[in-house]
Amino acid sequence: MRLKSLQISGFKSFADKTTINFEDGITGIVGPNGSGKSNIIEAVRWVMGEQSAKSLRGGKMPDVIFAGSQSRQPLNRAAVTITFDNSDHFLKTEFNEVSVTRKLFRNGDSQYLINQTDCRLKDVLDLFIDTGLGRDSFSVISQGRVEAIFNSKPEDRRVIIEEVAGVLSYKQDKQKAELELNKTNDYLARVNDLIVELQSQLEPLEEQSSLAQDYLDQKKQFDKLDKTRLVTLIENLQDENQQVAEKLTNATQLVTRYRTQTETFSGAVDQLKAKRQTLEAQKDQLQSNLLEATKKFENLAGQQNVTSEKNKYQQQQLAKLAETIKENSQKLSDYQTQKLALNQEIATDKKAVERTQAKLAELSEEEIQKKQTEIQTNIDHLQTSYIEKMQQLAQIHNDQTNLKKSYEQDSQQQLHVNADLQKLKNQLNELTTGQQQQQQHVTGLKRVVKTAEDQLKETLNSYQKLSEQQKQSQDSWLDALRVYQQAKTRLETLTSTDVELRGYYQGVQNVLKNRTNFQGLVGVVSELIDVPEKYTKAIEMVLGGQLQQLVTGNDQDARQIIQYLTKKRAGRVTLLPLSRIRGKQVSDHVKQEVQHLTGVEGIAADLVHTSDDLKLVKQFLLGNILIATDLKQATEISKQLSTRLKIVTLDGEIINPSGSMTGGVNRRQSDGLLTQKQTRQNLADQVKKMKTQLDGRESLVQDLKQRMQAVEAKGTELRQQFNDASDHFKDAKSKLEITKNQITELNRRIAAVDYEAQQNGDLQSDFTSRSTELDAQEQQLNVELEKISTDTDKNKQKLTQLHLTQNESQQALAQFREQLTNARVALTQAQTKFNALEENIKKTQLLVKQAEQQQTDLQTDQESQGNESKSKQAELTGIQGLIDQLKEQLKTQKKDLVELEKALANKEQELQRVQELGSVASDDLQEIKIKQTRLNEQIDHALNDLNEKYHLSLELAKKQTVELSSEDLQRELKLTKKGLAEIGEVNVGAIDEFQRVSERYQFLTSQKDDLTTSQKQLLETINEIDTEAALRFKTTFDKISASFSKVFVKMFGGGKAKLELTDPEHLLTTGMEIKAQPPGKKFQRLSLLSGGERALTAITLLFSILEVNPVPFCILDEVEAAFDDANVTRFADYLRNFRHQTQFVVITHRKGTMVECDVLYGVTMQESGVSKMASVSLEDVSRKETNP
């Protein structure tokens, strides 16, 4: 395989589309500094998957896109395509030619292509993995890479061997296996946690299930006995009703007989009276008068009796009318009171509507949007100005850079001149002042060396202490991390859907798992109420299964859920439609009474919290429940209360209104729904607090790492100072010997050098003046940029604040609109009530008026009857006197009438007796009818009970009865009812829940076994990978180490070198130390060599790797810049030796390297900021020179 071509477009300084074709052998790229040579090698690294913008000399990845110049606009895209000749199928693909393309757009979008087909970054990396061409391989050595090799830690250098050994793919496989193992461990931990949780549920659920089943069995028996009781009751009532019907028939016949006898006796009496009249008619006129007077007397007396009875009736009617008037007057008074209250309520609602409408009118978005537009316009203007200033600043920087380059060249020359002059003068002074002054100079250098050595030791001690502190902090952080991860895993387990629904009935779980299907579902009661921890147990105990009731918006939503559960046979639920339920309230006088009782915590509904739209649910469930401190206080409160409230203590004991008490603790009672909710909240708070502490410890670890890096850098600097001081000391001693032979030449050279220094000084003065001018301009631009940046930030803050204000206004607007709607609804309801009340007042006033009119009529009639009665009484008195007078006159005639009167009296007496018997018979008949009505009502009531409780008719119920006597039936009913009461409240859903939890427990146990097996297999796989990777690493390391030792001798012309493992016992983590002994020096680490020696040693390592594992191509970026001419020659010779097996691309300034290149590419910047390419084949040039 070989590198065929590189196409660059919009990448850094290559604004135009540029194609570089690479030939076999050595391709050189040359050009002045800043022309963009290194951008070529960075383009190669970038297209091969480099992800670090910093390693590409940028701050962020979009920095690689051409940023524009004075004459060109910035581009929006960078694209690089590299093409390989893969005819030998070095790359693992079937294509003979492979092209890799990477594109990046300024908006951050990117694209990778292999042979013009879209792919992933991973596909590009996998293409080059274990080929020796990866990002961290020695196939591409950019600026600073050589220095990074000898400055890096031994552990970081091992990646060089891993790339050659092909270990990276094994490391990736290991990472995947470890990731899978971590997932398996996490899953196993979660499964274990779930198993533990399920184990804690199983026994309580089993107990609840058994209790519930016992309850259902006894309830079934009770229902059968109760059906028998109702059927027996109905049959007995029907039998009794039949007997009563027979009695009714007999009583009716008896009343009829007495009525017939009364009519018979009345006729006999009338006959006797007629006979008496006949006798009296036969008498004289006196007797006739007496008879007439007697008849008139009897007639008047009868009328007087009728008038008296009528008067009594009218008195009763007047009393009833007075009571009616009184009641209706009281109703009118109540209606008037309600009318006043409704008037006040209507006025209040109208004011609320007016206030809400006023607030709505205040919330205008137009002003906010206008301000936002103004601020955004200011920001745009500021940003445009900022870009212009930045362009001016960039131009100044370019001018400064060019001036600095010229200044540095002249300064460098001046330094050389001054150094030469000072050196000559010093040498002259040294020679003239004698040996003593020379010895003092040497002594001073010794002190400098000693000081540098002491500082170096002190720095190394500081580094050691910081290393120990960092290790302790790291261990502490790891411990905290482990605890945090455990708590976080526990929280994730508890907040998972399956665990969160634990403890809910099957029907509730099925609804909550599919809650997206029910738009009208508000939620479950346990999640909708917020209970302080103090009252959690009390609320759990008193509500029990009601915590699992579901709240819906209306009846239709509730019916939808019930239809779903019925269709899916997914359990039962209790629903609370907000449109139907009514809150329970405790009257004000009861609240006042409760406030003065000892041990009262308050009304439960007042102690828990819900959102405003769910207060009705809270009142419905808890509005008539009182919370007390303990059972003793609760008992006293129950005795003292005049009303019947349910009382619950903080420990969960309950006193029912009927007087029954519930309490105690189950042997293995699991946490209730509210307790589980509180546990999740507490654990979440704990995890949040632990995360804060963990971040603090991590910051401390990072701070120590930074301090260690600073100390390490300082140590490197001091080590360099120590080496420089030592070199200076040796140079001083050498110069002392050679100076004596140069004294004659010094005087002549001093004069010439002094003149040259004067000329350079004038040039530097001009440079200084121009530099000062540019600095002033730069400073002014920086001040303007700072001001623009400050103004932009202020405007952005204002814009952000306006956004927040707009959001708050919109939220307030929505809230006020809702309030307005509610206020209007309340006003409409109040007006409706007011209209109904007005109608009731009118009706009641009409009733009062009618009753008063009737009362007036009766009173007038009574007055008239009273006058008439007085008149009749006076007339009776007169007639009575006449009769007495006539009787005196007719005494002789009475004897004849005595027998007649006796007979008449007997008949009347007999008539009275029959009438009394008839009256008694009528009363008996009425009682029988009432009894019959009562029996029919009892039968209907029993039939209704049978239908409502069991949905059965009497005929069907008779088929489901048991054969028991009345006494046995009552005894069995009493025993069964007592058994149900002893069982108490049960969770019927626990039967299905126990079955579900048992099945899940078995499933999770099976899952645990599978995960354990998978865990073992993954560990074995990781061990196999480690073994193979270690073997490959060791084999490759030994080969490269041997080659390095041989190549080092050739590159340095002697000496020796070797590669050492820092921890040979642990091949997977060991570092690699490079030790070298250049000719004439002792064995030492790479960091102790001079800069040129280190660079040459690193290049030696490259050639060693190429000998062991040749790569198709290698790109080098000025790696020989620090070499002297002799080493450059050796470097070029080695390139020439490897050119047949490896294709080289060299960016260089050195002539010795250029000479060996087959093709030279020149990079120029004819247009400012834009790189251009020019190429020449040296073979063609050589042929032209040979054959002119």
Query: Would you list which residues are annotated within the binding site?
Result: 32-39
Q: 613-648 burial string, b = 16+ CB within 10 Å, else e?
A: ebebbbbbbbbbbbbbeebebbbebbeebeeebbbb
Whole-angstrom Cα distance, residue 1163 to residue 1159? 13
Q: In angstroms, how far is the first alpha carbon of the chain from the final one? A: 36
Q: How far apart are CA 901 and CA 1001, in angstroms?
A: 109
| Cα separation, 71 vs 83, whole angstroms | 32
Q: Which two tokens stand for residue 879?
A: 């007639």
**Interior/surface letters 483-512, b for 16+ CB within 10 angstroms, e for the rest:** ebeebbebbebbeeeebbebbbbbbbbbbb
Q: Which of 550, 497, 549, 545 is nearest to 520 (CA)?
A: 550
E strands within 86-131?
A: 97-105, 110-114, 117-119
Is 673 within 8 Å of 989 (Cβ atoms)?
no
Strand partners, 65: 11
How many Cβ atoms from other residues are within 10 Å of residue 1053's Cβ?
11
Structure token pair of residue 1100: 């030696």
As a whole number of angstroms, the distance between CA 855 and CA 219 comes to 61
Q: Which residues contact 572 (CB under 8 A, 6 or more apart)?
A: 505, 507, 565, 989
Residue 337 CB partners (closer than 8 Å, separation 6+): none
- Residue 812's CB is within 10 A of a number of other CB atoms, namely 14
Q: Is the dihedral of CA 1096, 1102, 1104, 1110 positive or negative?
A: negative
DSSP alpha helices (H): ranges in 571-644?
Answer: 588-595, 604-607, 615-622, 631-640
The total number of residues written for the chain in this structure = 1188
Angle in degrees, CA 150, 152, 156, rounded to 5: 120
Whether the Cβ atoms of residue 396 and residue 772 lie closer than 8 Å to each other: no
Residue 839, burial from CB neighbour count under 10 angstroms (0-12, 13-18, 19+)? exposed
**423 burial type by CB count under 10 A (0-12 exposed, 13-18 middle, 19+ buried):** middle
DSSP character string of 472-536? HHHHHHHHHHHHHHHHHHHHHHHHSHHHHTTTS-HHHHHHHHTGGG-TTEEEEHHHH-B--GGGH
342 closest CA partner among 825, 827, 824? 827
Distance CA 966, CA 1029 (A): 91
Q: Please, what's the largest Cα pairwise distance for the chain?
A: 211
| Alpha carbons 889 and 1044: distance in angstroms, whole number | 181
Binding residue numbers for ATP? 32-39
CB environment 950-989: b (16+ within 10 A), e (fewer): bebebeebeeebeebeeeebeebbeebeebbeeeeebbbb
Cα(1114)–Cα(888) distance, integer angstroms: 172
Comparing C-alpha atoms, which of 703, 519, 656, 639 is closest to residue 984? 656
Q: Is the dihedral of CA 120, 122, 125, 129 positive or negative?
A: negative
Expressed in percent and rounded to 5, the helix, strand and coil fractions of the chain are 70, 10, 20
Q: Which one-letter DSSP state was computed for residue 73? A: P
